[in-house]
Structure 1
Amino acid sequence: MAEHLSLTLPVSGKRWQGVRYGSTTRVGGVSAGSWAGLNLGMHTGDEPESVRENRRRLASSLPAEPLWLQQVHGIDVADADADIVGAEAGDTAAPGDETGAQGGELTPVCADAAVTTRPGRVLAVLTADCAPVVIAETQGRALGVAHAGWRGLAAGVLEATLAKLRARVPGAPSWRAWVGPCIGQAAFEVGDVVRYAFIAHEPQAGEYFVPGRAVGKWQADLAGLARQRLHSAGVEDVEIAGLCTFARADLFYSYRRDSVTGRIATLAWLDPQYDAF
């Protein structure tokens, strides 16, 4: 865990020029019971006012209110610099989803990623096993965040995010990415359908699946698959946080572990005064 954002975003990676980014944990906050800690996901079964208070506490140390998305395991990418309104919910309606919501008091932005070139615009995704991915142009001119569960990852949410970013900064020489806390390979058992969804796109993806404990089951390396898709899309510098949400109940919520649970947030924003070099 990096120390440069230790209070607001205790989980982060290498310092990036012009970019601040990282993930929250469940530590802190006012939620109780199955959501104990800093639950940031509305409509997870937690008391809405507890989540609002958690979000208020988080936002108090940010340059702006985050753009909360209504995540649906798709590949749509929101333009955070357009005139759009973030949902209070910032979650997903699908049963069994790791973001988990059914709408909010404000009009939601239905997308699984967002991009910006505006300094101080805070992007956010919520997770509780899926991979949060931060992507930035290496000179700190463009930024994106994406929610990458296996469905969205296989469907191309990272490639869609990169396409939007490249359109905003034509001719950018290089990109970097960070894959935040997500479920680890030892805990992520999937079936043949999931494995095929990846190897049908790129046979080399097979190396990120090892045989599971039962016939037709596989242990999938979600973070590794995200890195492979990024590399294939031309992002050479990819860092993986290496923290398993399932294994670290002290730090993270995990839908697969607990079913009824909260959500952490991965946040990022452009800060031209933050120069890592």
Structure 2
Amino acid sequence: MTITSPLLSAVPGLRHAFFTREGGVSEGIYAGLNAGVGSQDDPAHVAENRRRMAQVMGVAPERFLTAYQIHSPDVVVAEAPWDSASRPRVDAIVTRVEGLAIGATAADCGPVLLVDPDARVIGAAHAGWKGALTGVVESTVAAMQNLGASRQNIRTAIGPLIRQQSYEVGSEFVERFVAADPGYARFFIASSRAGHAMFDLAGLIRLRLEQAGVGAIDDIGLDTYPNEKFFSYRRSVHRKEPDYGRHVHAIALHARPV
């Protein structure tokens, strides 16, 4: 049901999870643990899946928080629970409140979980190509710093996402990145199709984390596209399915063990 990062697992009082499809009640194209409030799945199934995820995270369902993601660099500080109808329109959440699980919703995009073990500040970011390019990683780190975190003390984990061998893009996509920074050419290799390239989203996220000055980075290294254990937006498009399931990858602070 979950995959964890050894780097984050070593932090006392921290619970985190990169969730798979396993262990849920959804059916059909959503089969398994679909947590996508924005999907067309049965809302009762989504609610039960999220209840199960909250249980794994050690929090009540109403304290399992996600945002209305818009592929932006924007971040919010969570200080108390919010309901589904009032979800903030951002792509990252940070908090220092114990017993709040904060999550990033993804189905190919890059989930990034962050913690400063000393300052007891956590973050969860949704880093698709647009968010990564426009600064969601840096915004998340800065927001954590505003809550007392130290950049060099922040430990991060990059979760399951679509990897370079599965992420084919057109020439206009490559041009957009190279126009932003010629050095970004390193994140593209030739595709078997003329005029196309394969994009390394994980590499870009890692670089932006490094440039933001975080102290340690772990990459789970799993590819969502070929692995049926995960939901994949691109796989659903290629199969001409009408919709797709979503994961929530989450992190929460609990009292330090005594």
- Tell me whether the two structures share a fold, i.e. TM-score over 0.5: yes
CA deviations over 1:228-261 (Å, ceiling 9, x no partner)? 1100111241111111100111x10001001322
Q: Give the RMSD, CA atoms, in angstroms.
A: 1.9
Say whether 1:13 aligns with 2:9: no
The answer on whether the counterparts of 2:65 and 2:81 sit within 8 Å (CA) in structure 1 is no
Is the Cα–Cα contact under 8 Å of residues 186 and 219 in structure 1 kept in the other structure? yes
Identity %: 35
Structure 1 Cα separation of the partners of residues 221 and 206 of structure 2: 12
Q: Which has the higher helix share?
A: 2
Alpha carbons 1:134, 1:177 under 8 Å: kept: yes
Q: What is the match of residue 79 of structure 1?
A: 77
1:53 aligns with 2:36: no
1:29 aligns with 2:24: yes
Give the structure 2 partner of residue 129 of structure 1: 108
Distance 2:179 2:210 in 1: 17
* Cα distance in 2 between the residues matched to 1:40 and 1:192: 34
What secondary structure does 1:45 align onto?
coil
1:271 offset after TM fit, Å?
Answer: 2.5
For the residue of structure 1 that corresponds to 2:169, the secondary structure is: strand
2:59 to 56, 63, 68: 63
Asked if residue 242 in structure 1 is aligned to residue 239 in structure 2, the reply is no
Can you list the C-alpha shifts for 1:55-86, whole angstroms capped at 9, x where unaligned?
Answer: 122223322421121001011101111x5624
Note the residue ranges of structure 2 that are not aligned, 5 or more in a row: 238-242
For these two proteins, the number of residue pairs brought into alignment is 247
2:245 aligns with: 262
Mapped partners of 1:143, 1:27: distance in 2: 26
Q: Report the Cα distance in structure 2 between the residues aligned to 1:27 and 1:270, rounded to whole angstroms.
A: 24
Amino acid at match of 1:256: R
Q: TM-score, normalised by structure 1?
A: 0.83
Q: Counterpart amino acid of 2:91?
A: D
Once the 2 structures are TM-superposed, how far is the Cα of residue 274 of structure 1 from its aligned partner? 5.3
Partner of residue 230, structure 2 = 252
Please, which runs of 5 or more residues in structure 1 have no aligned partner? 1-6, 88-105
Following superposition, the deviation at residue 223 of structure 1 comes to 1.1
Structure 1 pair 171–127 and aligned structure 2 pair: CA distance change class (3 A): closer
The CA deviation string for residues 169-220 of structure 1, in whole angstroms up to 9 with x for no partner, is 1656422210000011111011233334433444333222111122331111
Q: Which residue of 2 aligns with 1:163?
A: 142
Aligned to 1:42: 37
Q: What amino acid sits opposite 2:196 in the alignment?
A: K
Letter paired with 2:126: H
Indicate the residue corresponding to 1:4 in structure 2: none
Deviates more, 1:155-164 or 1:137-146: 137-146
Assess if the C-alpha contact under 8 Å between 1:205 and 1:228 holds in 2: no
Partner SS, residue 105 of structure 2? strand
Q: Is the 8 Å Cα contact of residues 103 and 248 (structure 2) preserved in structure 1?
A: yes
User: CA separation of 1:54/1:271 partners in 2, compared to 1, >3 Å: closer, same or farther?
Assistant: same
266-275 or 138-147: bigger deviation: 266-275
